[in-house]
Amino acid sequence: MTRSIAYHASPLLASKTPVWRSKFIVAGLGLAFVGLGARAAYVQVFGNDFFQRQGEVRFARTLELPANRGRVLDRNGLILASSVAAQSIWAIPEDVDKDDPKLPQAAKLLELKPADLKKLLSNEDKTFVWVKRQVDEPLARQVEALGIKGLYLRKDYKRQYPEGESAAHVVGFTNVEDVGQEGVELAFNKQLSGTAGSRRVIKDRLGRVVEDVRDAIPPVDGPDLQLSIDSKVQFFAYQKLTEAVKQHKAKAGSVVVMDVQSGEVLALANYPSYNPNQRRNLTGEQLRNRALTDTFEPGSTMKPFIAALALEKGLVRPESIIQTAPGRMTIGGSTITDAHPHGAMSVIEVIQKSSNVGTVKMAMQMQPREMWENFKQVGLGQKPDVPFPGAVSGRLRAYKSWRPIEQATMSYGYGLSTSLFQLAQAYTVFARDGELIPATMVHKAELAHGPRVYSARHAQAVRHMLHLVTGPGGTAPKAQVMGYTTGGKTGTAHKQEGRGYADKKYRGFFVGLAPIEQPRIVVAVMIDEPTGGQYYGGLVAAPVFSETVQQTLRILGVTPDMNVKPQIVAHAVEESF
C-alpha cells in the first residue's frame, strides 16, 4: 500500500513557490558562466600578452652561455694564462635541511667553517645562493656524492697561471666572474672575454630545465693573446732579482728587458710579487707593478743624455777636456761635489767615472729649453705608449721655471722623476744609433723604427763611453758578461723623504745594453733601499744586469762577440750622486 505525500502536514511543502525565484537562480547561473567565459576570453585573447609575460617572469629564464676566455701566451706560444673547466656550488636555502649530518662534511671539503656554511644557508627568503665558486672538478664531485638536498653544481671556468709569481705583474688575474682585475688580464679584458651566448628556457622551481623556448645563441670564445714576453727570460730575470733583493736586504726591486730591434718587452719583473693562483691576503706592496707605476729620481743614469746632447750641439767632442778640480763647484749658493776629485778629464772619462762636476759643466753651456726638449724626446715626462694599467708619466717640470741650480742637478738625475720602464726605453737611443724605439707588450717579429733623437755618430760615441763604464776604471765592472761585450750606466740616488732626502736610504740602478757593437737588448735594473752594507748601483744592480744579459742573449741565439774571459776588477770606482 503506497502512502501519499501529506502536503497539508508541511507548511513549506504546502506553500506555493514563486516562479521568479527559479528564474533568478537560472539567470544567476547563466551570468556566472558568461563571466567565466568573458574571463577566459580576456586571459586567452585580449590580455594574453600580459599573462604570457607574467608566466615567463616566473618560469622562463635566459641562461647565459659563457664564452671561454682567450689564453694569454708568451712569444713562443707557451701558456701564461688559460681557463680550465671547474664547478661552482650553489643552493636553494629553503630546501636545505639545516640539521643534515652531512653538512659539516661538505663544509670541510669546501674549506668552510660549519657555522659559516649554516649561516649562508639560513636565509630562507633566498631561492639562490652561491656556496663556493670555481671548485676543482674532483672536489665538486665529492660534494655532489654527499647527496645533500638543495645543493647543486653549475659548470664554470677557472683561470690558471702556470708561471706563478714570476709573471704575475705582467699577466695579472681575473675575478670569479672572469673579469680582468690586474695586468694584461685587465688591459686586454674586452678582447680576451669574447661574446657570451644565450639560451631561453622554461625552468621548474628546482632550477631544472624543462623546455627550450627558442634556439640557443652560441657563445664566441675570446681569441688568444700572444705577448712579447719570453717566459724563460721572465723567470730567470725574476729569479736573479729576487736573489739580489734578499742578498742586499732591500725593500723591493724591478727589472725590464727590451729587444731593441722590435721594441718588444721580453721581461718585466718585480719583487715582492704574488701567486695569481692563490690570492688570499694580498697587499698593495705585492700587487704594485713597480717597473711601470713607481717613479724615482734616476740619478747618474741621466748623464749619458747630457753628453749626447753636448756632442749633438757641438759644445764638446769625446776627447774634449773638462777641468773638474777640486771635485766640487758652487751654483746659487749650493755646492755640487764628486765622490772623488779627478782633475782634468775628457768627456769620455766624465761618463766612465760618473763625474757630477764634469756633467754639470757640460749642461750649463746649454739653454734650459734644450735640456728639457732632450729629455722629452727620449720619453721622460710622458706616459709610455703601452696599454697597461697604472703606467705613469713621471715628472719633468717646464723649463721656464728652472733655476740654475735645478738645471745643474737635473743633468745628473735630481729634480725630475721617471719609471724604470721609461728609463729602459730611453736607452734604446744608444742601442739603435740615435732612434728612440717604441715599446710593445704584444709579440711582433719585425724591425721597429722610431723618431731620431741623436745622429748615429754621436749615439755610437756615447755607446763607447757606456762600454768603458763596465770596464776597468769604470763604475760597473760587475756588469761585464762572459762572452759578450756590454755597456751601461750606474745610478745611485738618495730617496726622497718629506721635503728633503733621507741620509741612509738609497736606490741603486743600472741601465745597459749588449752586445756593444750591435746591441740586441737593453736591460734596466733597480734595487730599492738596500740595507746590507752596499748600495751603489754598480754593486747591487749591475750583477743582476750581468746575469740577465748572459741568459737572455743565449736564449735569443745571439752569437758571443768575445773570445776571452773579461777581467773583472775587484772594486768599482765609486760613482757620484
* 217 Cα distance to chain centroid: 33
* Domain annotation covers residue 136: no
> What pLDDT is recorded for position 44?
78
The number of distinct structural domains making up the chain is 2
Q: Would you call the peptide bond into 138 cis, given omega within 30 degrees of 0 as the criterion?
A: no
pLDDT greater at residue 378 or residue 113: 378
Q: Which range scores top for mean pLDDT: 80-89, 123-132, 311-320, 385-394?
A: 311-320
Residue 383 — φ and ψ, nearest 5°? -65, 130
CB of 291 within 8 A of CB of 268?
A: yes
Question: Which range (247-256, 318-327, 563-572) has the least confidence?
Answer: 563-572
Residue 274 covered by a domain: yes
Identify whether residues 256 and 341 lie together within a single domain: yes
- Compute the average pLDDT of residues 52-74: 73
Instruction: Please write the tens of the pLDDT for every residue from 305-315.
Output: 999 999 999 99
Residues 308 and 429 in one domain: yes
530 lies in the same domain as 385: yes
Regarding whether 322 and 196 lie in a shared domain, the answer is no
Residue 50, in any domain of the structure = no
For residues 209 and 348, membership in a common domain is answered with no
315 and 181 inside one domain: no
Listed residues 201, 227, 253: the one ending a domain? 227
Higher pLDDT, 137 or 568: 137
Q: What is the CATH number of the domain that holds 419?
A: 3.40.710.10
Spatial separation of the C-alpha atoms in residues 343 and 30, rounded to whole Å: 122
What's the Rg (C-alpha) of the chain?
38
With a cut of 70, say whether residue 439 has pLDDT above it: yes
Q: Is 388 within a domain?
A: yes
Residue environment code for 296-320, b if the CB has 16+ CB neighbours within 10 A, otherwise e? bbbbbbbbbbbbbbbbbeeebebee
- Residue-wise pLDDT for 488-536, tens only, equals 999 999 888 877 888 889 999 999 999 999 999 999 999 999 998 899 9
Please indicate, yes or no, whether residues 208 and 346 belong to a single structural domain of this protein.
no
User: What pLDDT sits at residue 203?
Assistant: 62
Is the pLDDT at 43 greater than 70? The verdict is: yes
Residue 16, in any domain of the structure: no
How far is it, in rounded angstroms, from Cα 520 to Cα 432?
9
The arithmetic mean of pLDDT across residues 4-26, rounded, is: 67
Strand (E) positions, 440-572? Answer: 487-497, 500-514, 521-528
The domain in which residue 485 lies consists of 231-556
Cβ atoms of 371 and 362 within 8 Å: the answer is no
Q: Write out the catalytic residue numbers.
A: 300
In a domain, 66, yes or no: yes
Which of 215-224, 303-312, 385-394 reaches the highest mean pLDDT? 303-312
Element (H, E) at 134: strand 129-135
Do 222 and 277 reside in the same domain of the chain?
no
Question: Has residue 237 got a pLDDT over 70?
Answer: yes
Least confident of 7-21, 60-74, 446-460: 7-21
161 shares its domain with 258: no
Q: What is the pLDDT of residue 199?
A: 67
Cα–Cα nearest to 157, from 182, 106, 190, 192: 192
Identity of the residue numbered 457: R
Q: Residue with C-alpha cell 759644445?
A: 315
Mean pLDDT of all residues belonging to the chain? 88
pLDDT of residue 570: 46
Q: Which of 169, 195, 227 is the last residue of a domain?
A: 227
Band of residue 340 on the pLDDT scale cut at 50, 70, 90: confident
202, pLDDT greater than 70: no
Q: Are residues 286 and 422 in the same domain?
A: yes
- Distance in angstroms (rounded) separating the CA atoms of residues 355 and 338: 6
**Residue 183 placed within a domain:** yes
**Residue 161 belongs to domain with CATH number:** 3.90.1310.10
